[in-house]
């Protein structure tokens, strides 16, 4: 009987020792730390002892006092990419050793279903080249962390998830866009890349914003009934706040489909507030934020055809907010699914933005054509573009994506012709005195205006006329 009691006390005390240090799930075995960065590591302790950290890349020891809320924090500088390393946390008689820790590049992917869409796809919603991508996904230089879907009315300290290595079993359930971005970046830089996925399909931007940032938008603060992922701040609280300030290189964002009907006018400013809030959480007001313009799709339930206006708002956001970049998907939408199969081109375009702006790769073209100047010349419209690389291209050479209107604000299909390296002429027999031009300003179209680097032009309009109801 005494031996049983002693064993019980011993096991209980052992459990207590194990419980002294608590780490958030983002800090664990196989994690990737951002190279050459000021990195914060944190956790909690059940008692008031100090916590000691030893990093194997330099065998340096750090000591942290435990605050009144039982939280401790270490601030350290990471070396250049390399590993594997170990991190040893010690408090009292307890040691926690994290193994296979890599130093490399870390990006956080967030948004709704086009970011969440797994590499394996969904029934009747395939991912282009999925089978080949999954079969060839074994790569020790790619690590995943997938935050579990979590709703909360208050900011949480932790979110469930764990770091795993890329292989067919893990990659098939991970973001198709996030995986391919990581794969391309790792190959380009020859370093380990860690990708954090924190996404939830069918969600509005307000769910990803902190309550503090939402105070600037009173109309967005009204809650839906019950605990649902569309409520204000619930995904920020459950799936973003617990990850901050884990050191990252930047954010990748793909969202907007759920806001095209109601908040297209406010969307640039909602994005600005959300980005500023996230950057504040990560203590870096210049943290890169790269996002995807929503792809063309037939929104049959929307009589106002408002998705072009949301795309316009996203283009505006890319100019309004510093250290951002937008990947245009005007040419790769699908009339069969709101989830375009080709996530490879999206990843390539995001990669170009990052390579040019963050990795200082020379001669990387990352911007597509944008309108610089419009001139009405009798019965024609002449449009001058910037970001054309070596010149404009249309494929095919004719296009049904252009429309032109006179003062009656009625748009008619127009012919477009490239007349110089950076100029188009637009005309229609139906409009004798044009005053406005639109390109791809529809729910669904297949974009065909590019620069010589193969980057598509964003949909655009030269008018500022109010949205009107259209027949579907």
Domain check: are 206 and 189 in the same one?
yes
Predicted local distance difference test score (pLDDT) of residue 470:
60
Cα separation of 239 and 152, whole Å?
A: 9
Domain check: are 196 and 278 in the same one?
yes
Predicted local distance difference test score (pLDDT) of residue 177:
98
Q: What is the CATH number of the domain that holds 278?
A: 3.40.50.1110
Domain check: are 109 and 155 in the same one?
yes
Mean pLDDT of 298-319: 89
Domain check: are 40 and 173 in the same one?
no
Q: What is the CATH number of the domain that holds 7?
A: 2.60.40.10
The answer to whether residue 193 is domain-embedded is yes
Contacts for 415-422 with beta carbons within 8 Å, 24 or more apart?
416/449, 418/391, 418/392, 418/393, 418/394, 419/382, 421/388, 421/390, 421/391, 421/392, 422/372, 422/384, 422/385, 422/386, 422/388, 422/391, 422/392
Predicted local distance difference test score (pLDDT) of residue 469:
64
Which of 357, 381, 398 is the C-terminal boundary of a domain? 357
Under 8 Å CB-to-CB from 364, ≥6 apart: which residues?
352, 355, 356
Cα separation of 239 and 258, whole Å?
A: 18
Domain check: are 122 and 72 in the same one?
no
Query: In the beta sheet, which residues pair with residue 384?
Result: 373, 423
The answer to whether residue 129 is domain-embedded is yes
Q: Within the chain, how many helices (H) and strands (E) appear? A: 10, 24
Predicted local distance difference test score (pLDDT) of residue 7:
40
Mean pLDDT of 4-30: 63
Cα separation of 192 and 85, whole Å?
A: 13
Domain check: are 336 and 388 in the same one?
no
| Phi, psi at 346, each rounded to 5° | -65, -45
Q: Which two tokens stand for residue 230?
A: 């569309």
Q: Which two tokens stand for residue 464?
A: 């500022």
**Cβ atoms of residues 399 and 393 within 8 Å:** no
Q: Which of 44-48, 135-139, 190-194, 454-458 is predicted least confidently? A: 44-48
Per-residue model confidence as pLDDT tens digits over 349-358? 999 999 999 9
Domain check: are 72 and 193 in the same one?
no
pLDDT at 18 over 70: no
Query: Residue 34: which domain range?
Result: 2-102
Show the CA angle centred on residue 276, arms to residues 188 and 69, nearest 5°: 100
Mean pLDDT of 19-28: 90
Which of 50, 74, 102 is the C-terminal boundary of a domain? 102
The answer to whether residue 260 is domain-embedded is yes
Domain check: are 151 and 95 in the same one?
no
The answer to whether residue 274 is domain-embedded is yes
Which H or E element spans position 392? strand 392-394
Per-residue model confidence as pLDDT tens digits over 319-354? 999 999 999 999 999 988 999 999 999 999 999 999
The answer to whether residue 60 is domain-embedded is yes
Which H or E element spans position 178? helix 176-189
Alpha carbon of 222 to those of 231, 262, 266: distances in Å?
8, 14, 16
Domain check: are 190 and 245 in the same one?
yes
For the chain, the domain total comes to: 3
- Give the three-class secondary structure for 53: strand
Predicted local distance difference test score (pLDDT) of residue 115:
98
The answer to whether residue 24 is domain-embedded is yes
pLDDT at 142 over 80: yes
Predicted local distance difference test score (pLDDT) of residue 468:
74
Per-residue model confidence as pLDDT tens digits over 393-438? 998 876 789 999 999 999 999 999 999 999 999 999 999 999 999 9
The answer to whether residue 468 is domain-embedded is no
Cα separation of 224 and 216, whole Å?
A: 19
CA torsion, ordered 222, 224, 225, 227, to nearest 10 deg: -110
pLDDT at 28 over 80: yes
Q: Which two tokens stand for residue 214?
A: 């939402």
**Cβ atoms of residues 436 and 428 within 8 Å:** no
Cα Rg for the chain, rounded, in angstroms?
25
The answer to whether residue 118 is domain-embedded is yes
Which of 357, 378, 413 is the C-terminal boundary of a domain? 357
Instruction: DSSP for 110-135, please give it.
Output: EESHHHH-BTT-BTTB--TTHHHHHH
Task: Report percent pLDDT > 90 for the chain.
Answer: 84
Domain check: are 225 and 329 in the same one?
yes
pLDDT at 90 over 90: yes
Domain check: are 155 and 169 in the same one?
yes
Domain check: are 97 and 184 in the same one?
no
pLDDT at 183 over 80: yes
């Amino acid at each position: 009987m005494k031996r049983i009691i002693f064993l019980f006390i011993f096991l209980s005390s052992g459990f207590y020792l194990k419980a002294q240090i608590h780490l958030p799930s983002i800090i664990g075995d196989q994690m990737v730390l951002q190279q050459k960065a000021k990195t914060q590591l944190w956790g909690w302790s059940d008692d008031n002892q100090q916590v000691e950290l030893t990093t194997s890349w330099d065998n340096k020891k750090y000591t942290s006092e435990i605050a009144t809320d039982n939280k401790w924090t270490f601030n350290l500088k990471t070396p250049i990419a390399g590993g594997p390393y170990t991190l040893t946390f010690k408090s009292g008689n307890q040691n926690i050793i994290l193994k296979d820790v890599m130093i490399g590049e870390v990006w956080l992917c967030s948004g709704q279903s086009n970011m969440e869409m797994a590499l394996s796809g969904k029934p009747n919603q395939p991912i282009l080249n999925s089978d080949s991508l999954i079969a060839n996904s074994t790569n020790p230089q790619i690590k995943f962390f997938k935050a579990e879907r979590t709703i909360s009315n208050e900011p949480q300290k932790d979110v469930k998830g764990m770091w795993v290595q890329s292989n067919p079993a893990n990659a098939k359930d991970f973001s198709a866009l996030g995986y391919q971005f990581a794969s391309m970046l790792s190959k380009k830089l020859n370093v380990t890349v860690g990708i954090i996925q924190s996404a939830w399909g069918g969600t509005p931007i307000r769910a990803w914003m902190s309550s503090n940032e939402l105070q600037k938008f009173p109309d967005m603060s009204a809650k839906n009934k019950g605990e649902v992922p569309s409520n204000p701040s619930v995904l920020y609280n459950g799936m973003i706040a617990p990850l901050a300030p884990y050191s990252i290189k930047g954010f990748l964002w793909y969202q907007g489909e759920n806001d095209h009907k109601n908040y297209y006018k406010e969307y640039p400013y909602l994005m600005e507030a959300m980005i500023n809030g996230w950057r504040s959480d990560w203590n870096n007001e210049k943290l890169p934020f790269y996002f995807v313009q929503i792809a063309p799709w037939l929104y049959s339930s929307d009589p106002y055809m408002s998705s072009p206006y949301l795309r316009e708002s996203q283009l505006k956001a890319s100019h309004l907010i510093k250290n951002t970049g937008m990947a245009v998907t005007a040419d790769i939408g699908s009339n069969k699914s709101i989830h375009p199969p080709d996530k490879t081109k999206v990843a390539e375009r995001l990669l170009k933005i990052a390579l040019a702006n963050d990795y200082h790769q020379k001669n990387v073209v990352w911007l597509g054509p944008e309108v610089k100047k419009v001139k009405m010349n009798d019965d024609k419209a002449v449009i001058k573009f910037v970001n054309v690389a070596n010149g404009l291209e249309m494929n095919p050479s004719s296009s049904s994506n252009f429309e032109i209107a006179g003062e009656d604000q009625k748009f008619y299909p127009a012919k477009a012709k490239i007349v110089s390296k950076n100029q188009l002429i637009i005309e229609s027999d139906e409009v004798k005195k044009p005053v406005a031009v639109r390109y791809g300003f529809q729910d669904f179209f297949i974009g065909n205006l590019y620069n010589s680097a193969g980057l598509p032009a964003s949909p655009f309009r030269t008018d500022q006329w109010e949205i009107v109801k259209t027949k579907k």
